[in-house]
Chains A and B, each alone.
Chain A
């Protein structure tokens, strides 16, 4: 069992739909990262969270420390949001990120 579980693995949506990607982890962490990777491309850091909620444009990330769960929401999805979204956690006193397996999102016009 992966230490960081993401769901769904694959997601298709119509343009304009509200999208939610979930991430759960098993032990206490110092921070959780949401990353975006377009096909063949490098990785972009979207959010780093240790508590609460963050918003950037149409993207919202939330984390529930007690439940060990985080969600990434995309409002008014657009085809350019098509990418792999990766959740990664950092434990205390380490530089190492533990990655989830990613969620492949395709948004159709």
Chain B
């Protein structure tokens, strides 16, 4: 199984809502990533978890809160978002050793109204 799954595919939320994005992989990868991608731009790294510990936080606003409950799951909790946070949120995973190849999920398209 070389798949990274993300739910939901689409999400519309108001600025006062609390919602969560979910990412799952069953490849035994030790690193998981959250990216934000605006239209016609490359992905921007938000967070990296390595061995279930937060290893990189790219100065992301606190209204985005990552969580790694176990080695297969990665969540992104959203609260009090702004319309400019509307974007495609991509999850990825990778392993160590000879291959750091990142496997990306299909993304969650988020619209903040």
Contact = CB atoms under 8 A, between A and B. Distances in A.
Interface stretch (B12-20, B62-70, B76-84, B101-109): B101-109
A25 interface: no
Interface of A: 30-31, 33, 35, 40-45, 48, 86, 88, 90, 95-97, 99-102
Instruction: Name which of B55, B94, B100 has the most chain A CB atoms within 10 A of its CB.
Output: B100
A33 B42 contact: no
Interface class of chain B by DSSP: strand
A95 B105 contact: no
B4 to A, nearest CB: 8
B101 A45 contact: yes
Contact of A45 (B45, B90, B102): B102
Interface of B: 31, 33, 41-43, 45, 48, 50, 55-56, 90, 92, 94, 99-107, 109
B48 A33 contact: no
Contacts, number: 47
B104 A48 contact: no
22 contacts: A31-B100, A41-B106, A41-B107, A42-B106, A42-B107, A43-B43, A43-B90, A43-B92, A43-B104, A44-B104, A45-B101, A45-B102, A45-B104, A48-B100, A95-B48, A95-B50, A95-B94, A95-B100, A96-B45, A97-B102, A100-B42, A101-B41
A102 B105 CA distance: 19
Contacts of A88: 42
A12 to B, nearest CB: 16
B102 A99 contact: no
Contact of A42 (B31, B33, B104): B104
A88 B45 CA distance: 12
Contact of B90 (A30, A33, A42): A42
A73 to B, nearest CB: 20
A96 B33 CA distance: 9
A85 B112 CA distance: 28
